[in-house]
């Protein structure tokens, strides 16, 4: 049970008042229902959220989505907006896997057309997409990529230099797949070394590639805009910036921690180490973080290219040509955006940290691709291997109460160690196969760590964000094949 006083303010919105602990500059707010709140109170995530509320320059409230769980510094599922120049940027508010995110591909066929080619397709996907902690399995990442160009331009560098992807793919990617202000020189030599052969690799942990089917449509208009239909086959890719992003975070946590006294910043937790956005340290971090984010978008673009290659090998060139990108969204990033906190009449530039939280801009927002502007931004909410995932659409209230943000997944309920005590990998593989889900995983241990039991109920999480007006359900996806690192 949380030691902090928390009260229900409005529907699904709970609040810890700023008076709850010394140093809080703003309240801490959480979107959840009572059952999710009871699960959330079992770890330190609410304490971490209250700590976030002490950051210099934080605006309106420290926020958390219903998939919140304990993380490094910030809870995963946390959102914080700070106002430059005094407002800070914190690497812990982005996380070690900078721009971990999700890309959805839609095949031009239904599950009935796939037939007995489901398992061969899963096998070919696992053969073509490298997995594993080291980043490459038995194969290298994309060769021939100029790393500095990737850090500066993101997937556009792969398109221009290697012919990977398309202009449509770039248009259907958050921020066009490129954060401005990325400076390759801000990324350390060690970070570049770690990322040099990892473009186009899935990684391990909670990263995955899923073959899915659309099993329910909730919003016909949005589904039509996203060109998704019931029974359609999709591929969901979940990966990030790999070792490069991890090293960028490591480098700047150390750098900012050493400078806290210089900036006269006192924190309840050194994992929140930060620097003013306008400072040399803050600017250097944003430049390096943006480069790592661009790397992650390029990584998912390269994985998507390999997935299309697998589709061509098993289903033919026509199906591969018709396999289109629905969208690509980040859920570990800090971005300079313009918002009206507290209903202000004028927009202000804020540094919005989203850690395990997804941008969810509503219909009409100028940053959305023209093709989706009438229905809102696509948002992808993965479940776990044996449960559903969801495609949502951003809604107007997200701008009013959460800086245009919604959840990013189901959210962990059990640690990896705890779930291994309950689940044996071989038995889990057999259970999933019996449910009609073909499984390819590097190890039974890694499979067990990502068991459905480890996660909260994704359907309940999605119901909360829909009831709160942050995003609305468009379609539900069910797994028919899973590839884990």
Give catalytic residues, as residue numbers: 408
Closest by Cα among 99, 305, 328 to 195: 99
Q: CA 297 → CA 99, 228, 433, 448, distances in Å?
A: 8, 23, 31, 28
Taking alpha carbons only, the member of 253, 251, 129, 119 closest to residue 199 is: 129
Longest CA–CA separation in the chain, Å: 64
Instruction: Tell me the C-alpha distance between 167 and 159, whole Å.
Output: 8
Query: Which pairing describes strands 438-441 and 471-484: parallel, antiparallel, or unpaired?
Result: parallel
CA angle at 326 for the pair 141 and 351, rounded to the nearest 5° = 80
Which of 287, 265, 266, 268 is closest to 276 using CA atoms? 265
* 58/35 Cα distance (integer angstroms): 29
Q: How many residues does the chain have?
A: 485
CB neighbour list of residue 460: distance below 8 Å, 6 or more residues apart: 33, 35, 36, 66
| Three-class HEC string of 183-251 | CHHHCCHHHHHHHCCCCCCCCCCCCEEEEEEEEEECCHHHHHHHCCCCCEEEEEEEECCHHHHHHHHHH
Pairwise CA distance, residues 100 & 95, whole Å: 9
Q: In whole angstroms, give the CA distance from residue 443 to residue 440.
A: 9
């Amino acid at each position: 049970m949380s030691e902090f006083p928390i009260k229900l303010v409005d529907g699904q919105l709970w609040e810890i008042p700023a008076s709850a602990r010394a140093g809080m500059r703003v309240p801490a707010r959480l979107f959840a229902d009572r059952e999710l709140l009871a699960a959330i109170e079992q770890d330190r995530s609410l304490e971490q959220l209250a700590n976030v509320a002490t950051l210099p320059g934080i605006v309106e409230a420290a926020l958390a989505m219903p998939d919140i769980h304990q993380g490094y510094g910030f809870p995963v599922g946390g959102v914080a907006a700070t106002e430059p120049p005094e407002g800070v940027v914190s690497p812990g508010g982005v996380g070690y896997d900078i721009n971990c995110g999700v890309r959805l591909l839609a095949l031009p066929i239904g599950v009935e057309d796939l037939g007995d080619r489901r398992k061969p397709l899963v096998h070919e996907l696992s053969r073509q997409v490298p997995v594993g902690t080291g980043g490459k399995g038995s194969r290298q990442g994309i060769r021939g990529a100029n790393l500095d160009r990737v850090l500066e331009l993101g997937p556009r560098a792969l398109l221009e230099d290697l012919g990977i992807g398309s202009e449509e793919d770039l248009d259907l990617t958050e921020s066009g797949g490129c954060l401005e202000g990325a400076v390759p020189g801000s990324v350390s030599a060690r970070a570049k070394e770690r990322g040099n052969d990892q473009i186009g690799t899935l990684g391990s942990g909670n990263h995955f590639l899923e073959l899915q089917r659309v099993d329910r449509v909730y919003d016909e208009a949005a589904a039509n805009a996203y060109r998704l239909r019931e029974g359609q086959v999709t591929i969901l890719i979940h990966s990030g910036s790999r070792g490069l992003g991890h090293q960028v975070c490591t480098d700047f946590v150390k750098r900012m921690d050493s400078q806290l006294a210089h900036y006269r910043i006192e924190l309840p937790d050194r994992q929140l180490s930060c620097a003013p956005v306008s400072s040399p340290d803050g600017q250097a971090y944003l430049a390096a973080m943006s480069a790592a984010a661009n790397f992650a978008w390029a990584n998912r673009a390269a994985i998507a290219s390999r997935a299309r290659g697998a589709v061509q090998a098993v289903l033919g060139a026509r199906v591969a040509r018709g396999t289109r990108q629905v969208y690509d969204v980040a859920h570990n990033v800090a971005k300079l955006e313009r918002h009206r906190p507290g209903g202000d009449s004028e927009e202000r530039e804020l540094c919005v940290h989203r850690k395990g939280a997804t941008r969810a801009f509503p219909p009409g927002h100028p940053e959305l691709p023209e093709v989706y502007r009438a229905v809102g931004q696509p948002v992808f909410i993965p479940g776990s291997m044996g449960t559903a995932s969801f495609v949502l659409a951003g809604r107007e209230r997200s701008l009013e109460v959460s800086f245009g943000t919604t959840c990013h997944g189901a959210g962990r309920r059990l640690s990896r160690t705890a779930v291994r005590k309950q689940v044996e990998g071989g038995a889990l593989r057999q259970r999933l196969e019996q449910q009609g889900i073909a499984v390819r995983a590097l190890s039974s241990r890694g499979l067990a760590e990502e068991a459905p039991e480890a996660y909260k109920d994704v359907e309940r999480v999605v119901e909360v964000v829909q009831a709160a007006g942050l995003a609305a359900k468009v379609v539900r996806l069910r797994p028919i094949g899973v590839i884990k690192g």
